[in-house]
């Protein structure tokens, strides 16, 4: 049997392993961590163990735009899944590459918890254009045996969610922001923090959401990724939903009257759009703190590195008992958002080639809904 046949056999065996349940779906991560099955998987295939942690990461619209090519039990390549892009809201694919960075960071934390150091080589075959997305790798991932290293951030993975509910309680304090920065650690760029709901910034966030909602192409893109009921959530195990937007109880019953089925006319009706904008305003104004990830430049490497920082930021907030929710609409690069984005950049004072890559509101909330993830086998190519 030649090398290529050996690799094909290895990948087939891994798919059989996944199908048999040895490597469980990431949706069952909380129940599985530290189980006998995980211990067996670390011994038999540490790459699969680390990879199953990757998809637990936050990502834009929960598209889960990740593909993985297995090379060996200690080496793999990560690609963008070109079938899961957001061309209307994310024309340069910046946010999609931020999502690649979040996957990488969760993978690295999972590898360390399994007793491996993960080395990450970004764009190993060089940079690529839009036509080559999905054909050239974002990163080559390599594992080297090391001591087991768990951290507060790894421990927070099981509880991490993007919490879009309205927040309550006191503002984030200076001491809490310092603790947050300490947990995040060194970043490729800087973290810009603001206490409270940001005042003028929040007004801009709401205006940006209204632009995205009132622009037909971007609102339609959200509709295509929206899961309209629990059956669709379970069927597709991706996308966005009312539950994922922090809606529960009586509010869920009310909201369900506005968002009841995947109907284009109903979705784009003025009353439906206004309901969404009003709901977002309630979320944004309830923020108890704002944090922004700012990079010195704005290229693909910066995007991926910002994603790694954002993953650590969300996990650090989770470890501190805080909730977080990205306010990304105003950063988007389609033409209708240009003037608001430029106003925002002037307001926050970015200079030269700097770029605000991510914004998140912080606060406190008891709401909990873990957006589902597809089974690990579906990411393998």
List, in sequence order, every residue forming a beta bridge with 191; answer none if it has no partner.
293
Compute how many other C-beta atoms are within 10 angstroms of the C-beta atom of residue 285. Answer: 17
The model's pTM: 0.90
φ, ψ at 252 (rounded to 5°): -65, -40
174-363 placed in CATH 3.40.109.10: yes
Q: Give the pLDDT score at 183.
A: 98
- Gap between the Cα atoms of 266 and 259, Å rounded: 8
Report whether pLDDT(148) > 90.
no
- Gap between the Cα atoms of 206 and 248, Å rounded: 22
Report whether pLDDT(345) > 60.
yes
Q: For the chain, what are the domain ranges? A: 3-159+374-379, 174-363
Report whether pLDDT(311) > 80.
yes
Q: 1.10.150, 3.40.50, 3.40.109, 1.10.3470: which CATH number matches 3-159+374-379? A: 3.40.109
Same fold, 3-159+374-379 and 174-363: yes
Listed in sequence order, the DSSP H helices in the chain are 3-19, 29-32, 36-44, 46-53, 94-113, 152-156, 174-184, 200-214, 216-224, 230-236, 249-258, 264-267, 270-285, 300-319, 338-348
- Gap between the Cα atoms of 283 and 275, Å rounded: 13
Mean pLDDT of 313-341: 98
Total residue length of the chain: 381
**Average pLDDT value over all residues in the chain:** 89
Compute how many other C-beta atoms are within 10 angstroms of the C-beta atom of residue 137. Answer: 22
């Amino acid at each position: 049997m030649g090398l290529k046949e050996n690799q094909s056999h290895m990948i087939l065996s891994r798919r059989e392993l996944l199908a048999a349940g040895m490597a469980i779906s990431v949706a069952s991560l909380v129940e599985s961590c530290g189980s006998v099955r995980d211990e067996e998987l670390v011994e038999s295939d540490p790459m699969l163990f680390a990879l199953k942690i990757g998809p637990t990461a936050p990502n834009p619209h929960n598209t889960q735009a990740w593909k993985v090519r297995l090379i060996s039990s200690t080496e793999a390549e990560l690609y963008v899944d070109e079938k899961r892009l957001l061309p209307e809201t994310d024309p340069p694919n910046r946010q999609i590459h931020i999502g690649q960075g979040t996957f990488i960071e969760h993978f690295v934390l999972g590898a360390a918890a399994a007793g491996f150091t993960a080395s990450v080589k970004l764009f190993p075959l060089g940079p690529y254009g839009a036509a080559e997305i999905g054909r050239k790798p974002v990163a080559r991932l390599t594992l080297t045996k090391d001591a087991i290293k768990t951290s507060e951030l790894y421990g927070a993975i099981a509880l991490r969610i993007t919490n879009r509910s309205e927040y309550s309680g006191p503002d984030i304090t200076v001491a809490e922001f310092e603790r947050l920065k300490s947990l995040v650690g060194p970043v490729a760029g800087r973290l810009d923090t603001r206490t409270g709901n940001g005042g003028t910034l929040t007004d801009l966030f709401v205006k940006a959401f209204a632009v995205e909602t009132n622009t037909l192409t971007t609102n339609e893109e959200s509709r295509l990724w929206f899961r309209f009921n629990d059956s669709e959530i379970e069927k597709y195990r991706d996308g966005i939903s009312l539950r994922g937007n922090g809606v529960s109880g009586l509010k869920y019953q009310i909201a369900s009257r506005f968002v009841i089925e995947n109907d284009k006319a109903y979705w784009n009706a003025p009353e439906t759009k206004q309901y969404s904008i009003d709901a977002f305003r309630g979320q944004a104004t309830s923020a108890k703190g704002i944090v922004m990830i700012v990079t010195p430049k704005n290229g693909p490497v910066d995007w991926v590195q910002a994603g790694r920082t954002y993953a650590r930021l969300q996990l650090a907030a989770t470890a501190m008992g805080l909730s977080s929710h990205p306010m990304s609409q105003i950063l988007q690069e389609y033409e209708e958002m240009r003037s608001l984005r430029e106003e925002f950049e002037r307001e926050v004072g970015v200079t030269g080639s700097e770029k605000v890559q991510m914004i998140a509101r912080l606060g406190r909330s008891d709401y909990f809904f873990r957006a589902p993830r597809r089974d690990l086998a579906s990411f393998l190519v």
